Structure 1
């Protein structure tokens, strides 16, 4: 479960850039101060990956040794970077575990736009089940820095109806808050 959550957050992809960082830079994440060539997206990905690592560790109530053992078993990071991860979690992880503040680490996304359209495939070289309607959903979300990401996915009519029902339930629950 831990591996799946970190994989979804792009930790493995970001670990390549983390791997190239001096430990003191990683500890402070001041990329431009020493001239590290990294795009804003790469820096954002590293920060998101590290945030997810610590949030996931808090969620699963990992000790600093358990977190370090997991990272060592899955990612090839230099010893100095591993020491920084261990030290930071050893020092700061306690407060997250005590206050259950791991949720505060995850940046909230804001819906910018929601669109859907219904369609039907009528010919295909690869698909055998044609003439079945589907719904294409396009979600635009903005992260805490304002970067907008578009997510597009398709669902069957039954899946879309269930999706709609869940949104209505969430809306009703939010109105009671």
Structure 2
């Protein structure tokens, strides 16, 4: 295997996530790996770390969202690095086994997922850089009265609360909330209309 691939896999992030990965039932780890592969193939918008954390906890695994995010990042990086260097299943599994001393059932999941799905990543043009751009999943807004706000200085005046759900390049689904004055929202809306008009000419 190329030295570059060995070096990248050695820094894949499994070390700080190893204990959690080992504690996962094989079916849940397989589910995580499958979601990671689908995200890297741009077949899904990302891995919902909150939902995944809830599933882990329901199975009796003691964890939190931050730890789940570390595992998601490690698995994404593992498969994207394997695709980047076009690693065979044996090379990938042997490298992970030698660096992280993972149990056989965990290695079996990695072997199975890469055998079944790895070629799809290798065959796609995106395998050169398997970090899809962030995607906007949902956009919600509502008008309310500013009672306490960092951004709306004039309290007891109308303001607009915007909630965005974004799938980041790492695969994490994040919700971002912010407030704008009516004038700021009007400018925001105007810019969207200008973008829409520009896209119609493309």
Answer yes or no: same fold by TM over 0.5: yes
In angstroms, what is the RMSD of aligned CA positions?
2.8
Looking at structure 2, the residues matched to 81 and 18 of structure 1 have their Cα atoms a distance apart, in angstroms, of 8
Unmatched segments (≥5 aa) in structure 1? 111-140, 149-177
**Are 2:17 and 1:17 aligned?**
no
CA pair 66-89 structure 1, distance change in 2 beyond 3 A: same
Unmatched segments (≥5 aa) in structure 2? 33-54, 136-167, 177-202
Task: From 30, 33, 39, give the equivalent of 1:27.
Answer: 30
**Are 2:110 and 1:92 aligned?**
no
Residue by residue, what CA displacement relative to the aligned partner does 1:42-63 show, whole Å, maximum 9, x if unpaired? 1111011011100000000001
Please name the residue that 2:105 is paired with. Answer: 80
Task: From 82, 86, 89, give the equivalent of 1:57.
Answer: 82
CA pair 7-108 structure 1, distance change in 2 beyond 3 A: farther
Looking at structure 1, the residues matched to 74 and 175 of structure 2 have their Cα atoms a distance apart, in angstroms, of 16
Give the total of aligned pairs: 118
- TM-score (structure 2 length as normaliser): 0.50
Judge conservation of contact 1:55–1:102 (CA < 8 Å) in 2.
yes
Alignment of 1:17-166 (within 5 A): 17-29=20-32, 30-102=55-127, 105-106=130-131, 108=133, 144-146=172-174
> Higher relative CO (CA 8 A, sep ≥ 6), structure 1 or 2?
2
- TM-score (structure 1 length as normaliser): 0.57
Looking at structure 2, the residues matched to 9 and 102 of structure 1 have their Cα atoms a distance apart, in angstroms, of 17
Which of structure 1's runs of 4+ aligned residues deviate more than 6 A? none
CA pair 103-16 structure 1, distance change in 2 beyond 3 A: farther
